[in-house]
Structure 1
Amino acid sequence: MKRIINLSLGLLLFAVLSIWQTKADVRLATIFSDNMVLQQQSEVAVWGWARPNTNISVSGSWNKKSYSAKSDATGYWKVKIQTPAASYTPYTLTVSDGKAVGLKNILIGEVWLCSGQSNMEMPMKGYNNQPVEGGPDAIAYSQNKGIRCFTVKQVSTTIPQDDCEGTWDIAGPETTPNFTATGYFFGRLLNNALDVPVGLIHCSWGGSRIEAWMTPLSLKDIPGKEIPQTEADIKIPSQDPTVLYNGMLHPLIGFGIRGAIWYQGESNREEPIIYVKKFERMVHEWRNLWGLGEFPFYYCQIAPYNYGDRINSAYIREAQAKGMEITNTGMAVLMDADSPDCIHPPKKKEAGERLALWALANTYGMKKIHYRSPEVKSFETEGRVAVITFDYTGINGLTSYGKEIKNFMIAGANKHFYPAKAALTSDKVYLFSPYVSQPIAVRYCFDDTSATEIFTVEGNLPLSSFRTDNW
C-alpha cells in the first residue's frame, strides 16, 4: 500500500512538473512566426513571455550571434537584434529560456504597415458584387515567396492588448485572394522595383473612424465622442475612440517597419477641419510609439463617390491634402477612380502603385520617378480670365488626353460659381465665363462625384479637386 501511495504521489508530481514545464516554455508574440519578414539592416525588436526573471537568448541564422534579455516579474521580455541586408535566403530564428523555440523560413526585406478602413481592408478577391479590377489575373500570377502578408484579426476593446491573432502568408493563388488589395499592389511594385522581399502587416477595419486608431492621450483636447471605459460602452466597434488602437495596433508597436500606408477618411468626412488635427496627431503618435523617427507615412485621398447626403466630400479631400504639410508624408490622388456609385473603387492597382511611387522616390531614392500629382502653385487674373499655374507637373506637363475640360467653376464678388471654359497648357489652365467679369475664385471638381480630367503626361497622375477660396 505504501509503495502504491508513493507511486501515485510520484506520478502526480511528474504530471504537475510536466504541466508547469509546458507553461514555462518561452513564447513569442504572434507576429513573430514562421514565414515572417524582418526589416533589413536594422535593430529590430523581438519580444514575448517566459517564466518571471528568466534569462532569454535570441539568435538568427544569418549571423549566429546570440542576444540576451531577462524576463520581468510578469514574464515579459524584449530584445533587439541586428538584421543583415535584404535577401531571399530563408533564415531561422531561435529563442531559448533553456528550452529552444525555433521559427523557420524567415526573409529579410522591407516591412510596411497597411492600415485604414474598408478600402484598405478590401481583399484581392473583392467584396460581394464589388470586384477588384484585374484581380483574377493578379491572383493567378501572384506566386512569389518574396511577398508576404500578416493580417491582424479584428478586435475592438477598451483595454490595450499585448498580443493579436494572425499568420504570415506567402503570396500565391491560394493565399493572395485574402490579401489587402491596396497593400498587395503596393508591395508588388516595391518587390519588382527593389528586388527585395516585402512584408505587409495588414491592420484595418471597414467603416473605422480615425480616432479609433488613436490613444486617449492624443485625443484628450480634441472634442468628439466620449472614449468608452468598459466593453459595454462600445457602441460601434469599428468607430469608437481608441478601441482599434487597443485591440489591433497596440500588439504590433515596436515591430520593425520601414513605414506605413493608410487608406481612410470616408467615415470622417463630416468633420474636415478637425480631421486635419486628428490626422497630424495620429501620424506623430504612431511615430513616437514606434520610436523609429519620422518614418514615411503615405496615404490615399478618398475617391469621388455619391454619398447621397448634404455633406460635400470635397472638403475632406481638401483636409487630406493638408496632411502633406507633415514631414515625410505623401498622398496618392484617386480622382480618376471612376466609381461614383460604389464606395469601394475597383481600381486598387492604381491606389497601391501610386503609394509605391511615393515610397520608391522619397524613401528609396529613385528621384527620377514621377510620383506626385499636380498641385496648385498660384492663382492670378488677366482681365476676365482666371489663370491657375500648377506645380509638380513633370517634365512633359499636363494633359486632358484631348478631351474637353468641364469641371472648372469660377466666381466673382457675388460668390456665385459658374461653369468655366478651360484651355490647358503645359503647366497652366486659363478659365473664362461670360457671367463673371472679374474672377476672384476658382473651384475644380469640388463636389462628391466629379472626376478629374487633367493628368500629368509623365506618370499619368491625376489632379485633385481643389478651391482657391475659403468660403
Structure 2
Amino acid sequence: MKLLNGILTFFSKSMKGVRNCFFSIFLITISLQAQTKLPSFFGDNMVLQQKENVAFWGNDSPNSVITIITSWGSKAKVITDENGHWKTSVKTKKGSFVSETISVKGSSSILLKNVLIGEVWFCSGQSNMEMALRGFRKSKVLNAQKYIDIADKKTIRLFNTPRTASVLPSNDVNSEWQESNKESVKKFSAIGYIFAVELYKKLNVPIGIIEASWGGTRIESWIPKKDLLKYKGINFFDKLPKEENKQKKPSFLYNGMIHPFQNYTVKGVLWYQGESNRTQPNSYKDFMKDLIDAWRRQWKDDNLPFYFVQIAPFDYSKNKKGTSIRPNLIREAQLQIAQEINNTGVVVTTDAGDCNDIHPSKKEIVAKRLSNLALAKQYRFKNLSNRSAEFKSFKIKNDEIILKFKFFKNDKLISSKNVKGFSIAGADKIFYPANIEFRKNGKQVILSSKKVRKPVAVRYGFEACFESNLETKSGLPISVFRTDQWQP
C-alpha cells in the first residue's frame, strides 16, 4: 500500500509539473502573440510621403486597440481583426527637415525615431537598376566618386530590399532605412541615389528611395500570379527550386519583394528591366501593361506615376542566347507603353549604352533624365527637357521618304555629319543605309538610297548595337523605331 501511495504521489507531482510546463508555454505563446509588430519599413530613419494620408499597418493580438500618435500632431486609432491584423492611415504635414517621432501602442509599445517627411519613390528592375554606385564587377559608374564625396546627407534616406524569392505573397522584408552617407550609397542603386540627389536639389525636402531589384530577372517574375494565368506556356511552381535561377520564376519576386510593401505611400515608381526578355520580346508589351496595372492596384492608385528606362545599346549578338536586332522590339514596346498608358514616361538611352558592356557606365545620364521626367510631370517644373522627339508619320514622294516627328518643348533635330541609323527598304524587305537631308529647320527628315528606287519602309536604329549620334536641340536622343511590321 505504501508503495502504491508513493507511486500515486509521484505521478500527481509529475502531472502537476507537466501542467505547469504546458501553462508556461501557453503564457509565453500568448505573450509573443500579444506583441505589437510592424513591417521593417516602418522603422527609424524612414521617410513618409508629405501631405498625404499615408498607410500604416501591422499585427497584434486579436481585438486589440492600436493607437498611433505622431510628434506633428496626427493621430489614429484602430482595432485589430480576428487574426490580429490592423491597417489605418496617418495624415502627414508638408515636408520638412524636422526629425519626427511616431508612437504605436497596442499590447506593447513601439517608438519610431528620426522620421522625416518629404518625397518617397520606389525603384525596381534588374541589374542596371540594381547596379550600385560602387559598380558591378568590372563595370563602373561614371562620376561615382563625385556622388560618394557628397553622400553625407541625413535628409536623403535609403531602403535596400534584399533579394528574396517567395512562392506565396510575403508581408515583410528583412531590411532597414539608412541615412545617406559614404558607405550606404556605395551599396545602393546608382540610378536610385542620383535620382534622389537631383530631386533633393530642386525640391529642398527630404527624399526617401526604396529599392527592390534583382539582376538577370524576367518581367514575369515581378507580376502577380493571377495576372499571368491568362497566358499559355507559363509554368508556375509550388516550392522554391534549389537552382540559382529561382529569381526567374513567374511571380516569385513580386511575392517576395513587391507585395510586402502593399500600399506604403510613394510618389511614384522607377523601372529599369527588359534585357532578360530580349529573346522572346513579342509578349513584353502585354507583360508591361500587366505589371503597371498590378502595381497600381496594389498601391491603390490608378494614376501612380510609372517611369521606366529603355534598355541601353549592347551587342547581344556576342551572346549565344542573343539575337541581332530583337532587343529593339523590347525598346519599341517600351516606347509604345509610354505613348499609350497615362502617367507613364520612358527614358531613351540610344546615347547612353556600351556595345561591350551590358552594364553601361552612364547611370548619371539615365538618373537625371528620370528626375527631369518626375520634376516636370509630378512637380510642375517648367522648361525641363523631359521627353524625346518621337516618330509621327511618313510619306513617299518619288524615290524619297519624308519623315515627320512629334517634338516637345520646341525641340528639333540638328543636322550632324554622318548621321547613323536610318535605313530604307523596298518591297523586297532588304534595308540599305539611307542618305539623309534635314529640312524645315530640323523638323523634317528626307531619306533616299540609290539602291532603293521605290522605298516603302523605314527603320531607325534596328541594328545589333545601335549608338545614336543624331543631335537634338534638347540633347535627348530619339528612340529606335520602324514603319513596317515585318519579322525582324
Which category of TM-score, normalised to the shorter sequence, fits these structures? Answer: over 0.9
- Find the residue that maps to 2:182 and give its secondary structure: coil
Deviations 1:226-246 (A, max 9, x none): 111222488721211010011
What residue number does 2:351 align with?
336
TM-aligned CA deviation for residue 303 of structure 1: 0.6
1:204 and 1:326 map into 2 onto residues whose CA distance is: 23
What residue number does 1:140 align with?
149
Amino acid at match of 1:186: F
Amino acid at match of 1:419: P
Amino acid at match of 1:49: N
TM-aligned CA deviation for residue 18 of structure 1: 7.3
TM-aligned CA deviation for residue 14 of structure 1: 9.0
365-374 vs 344-353, which deviates more?
Answer: 365-374
Amino acid at match of 1:383: N
1:12 and 1:188 map into 2 onto residues whose CA distance is: 56
Say whether residues 1:379 and 2:394 are aligned partners: yes
Correspondence 1:154-193 to 2 at 5 A: 154-193=163-202
1:242 and 1:234 map into 2 onto residues whose CA distance is: 16
1:208 and 1:454 map into 2 onto residues whose CA distance is: 32
2:57 and 2:153 map into 1 onto residues whose CA distance is: 28
**Are 1:61 and 1:92, in contact at CA under 8 Å, matched by a contact in 2?**
yes
- Find the residue that maps to 1:323 and give its secondary structure: helix
Q: Unpaired runs of 5+ in structure 2?
A: 1-15
What residue number does 2:249 align with?
240
What residue number does 2:461 align with?
445
What residue number does 1:388 align with?
403
293-302 vs 221-230, which deviates more?
Answer: 221-230
**Are 1:406 and 1:421, in contact at CA under 8 Å, matched by a contact in 2?**
no
**Are 1:228 and 1:234, in contact at CA under 8 Å, matched by a contact in 2?**
no
- Find the residue that maps to 2:316 and give its secondary structure: coil
2:272 and 2:456 map into 1 onto residues whose CA distance is: 34
Correspondence 1:7-406 to 2 at 5 A: 21=31, 24-63=34-73, 65-97=74-106, 99-232=108-241, 236-308=245-317, 309-312=322-325, 313-324=327-338, 325-399=340-414, 402-406=416-420
1:377 and 1:241 map into 2 onto residues whose CA distance is: 36
Q: Highest CA radius of gyration, 1 or 2?
A: 2
1:76 and 1:407 map into 2 onto residues whose CA distance is: 57
**Are 1:153 and 1:166, in contact at CA under 8 Å, matched by a contact in 2?**
yes
1:351 and 1:86 map into 2 onto residues whose CA distance is: 26
User: What value does the CA root-mean-square deviation take over the aligned residues?
Assistant: 2.3
Say whether residues 1:415 and 2:435 are aligned partners: no
Say whether residues 1:455 and 2:457 are aligned partners: no
- Find the residue that maps to 1:59 and give its secondary structure: strand
2:190 and 2:444 map into 1 onto residues whose CA distance is: 35
Amino acid at match of 1:214: I
Deviations 1:31-69 (A, max 9, x none): 101110101111111111112221110111111x32111
1:99 and 1:232 map into 2 onto residues whose CA distance is: 38
**Are 1:36 and 1:148, in contact at CA under 8 Å, matched by a contact in 2?**
yes
1:232 and 1:384 map into 2 onto residues whose CA distance is: 58
Deviations 1:253-288 (A, max 9, x none): 110011101000001112222111110011011111
117-126 vs 310-319, which deviates more?
Answer: 310-319
380-389 vs 210-219, which deviates more?
Answer: 380-389
**Are 2:131 and 2:190, in contact at CA under 8 Å, matched by a contact in 1?**
yes
1:11 and 1:450 map into 2 onto residues whose CA distance is: 72
TM-aligned CA deviation for residue 311 of structure 1: 4.9
1:318 and 1:292 map into 2 onto residues whose CA distance is: 26
Amino acid at match of 1:25: Q
1:369 and 1:66 map into 2 onto residues whose CA distance is: 39
Give the TM-score of the pair, scaled to structure 2: 0.90
- Find the residue that maps to 1:148 and give its secondary structure: strand
**Are 1:52 and 1:76, in contact at CA under 8 Å, matched by a contact in 2?**
yes
**Are 1:269 and 1:311, in contact at CA under 8 Å, matched by a contact in 2?**
no
1:158 and 1:10 map into 2 onto residues whose CA distance is: 39
What residue number does 2:443 align with?
427
1:368 and 1:124 map into 2 onto residues whose CA distance is: 29
- Find the residue that maps to 1:106 and give its secondary structure: strand
116-125 vs 227-236, which deviates more?
Answer: 227-236
1:132 and 1:122 map into 2 onto residues whose CA distance is: 9
TM-aligned CA deviation for residue 139 of structure 1: 0.9
Deviations 1:200-234 (A, max 9, x none): 11011101111111111111112233111222488
- Find the residue that maps to 1:104 and give its secondary structure: strand
Distance 1:466 1:387, change over 3 A: same
Amino acid at match of 1:408: F
**Are 1:393 and 1:456, in contact at CA under 8 Å, matched by a contact in 2?**
no
Amino acid at match of 2:414: T
1:335 and 1:259 map into 2 onto residues whose CA distance is: 24
1:381 and 1:11 map into 2 onto residues whose CA distance is: 89
1:148 and 1:134 map into 2 onto residues whose CA distance is: 21
Distance 1:119 1:290, change over 3 A: same
Report % sequence identity.
Answer: 38
Distance 1:71 1:396, change over 3 A: closer
Q: Unpaired runs of 5+ in structure 1?
A: 1-5
1:428 and 1:143 map into 2 onto residues whose CA distance is: 48
Give the TM-score of the pair, scaled to structure 1: 0.93
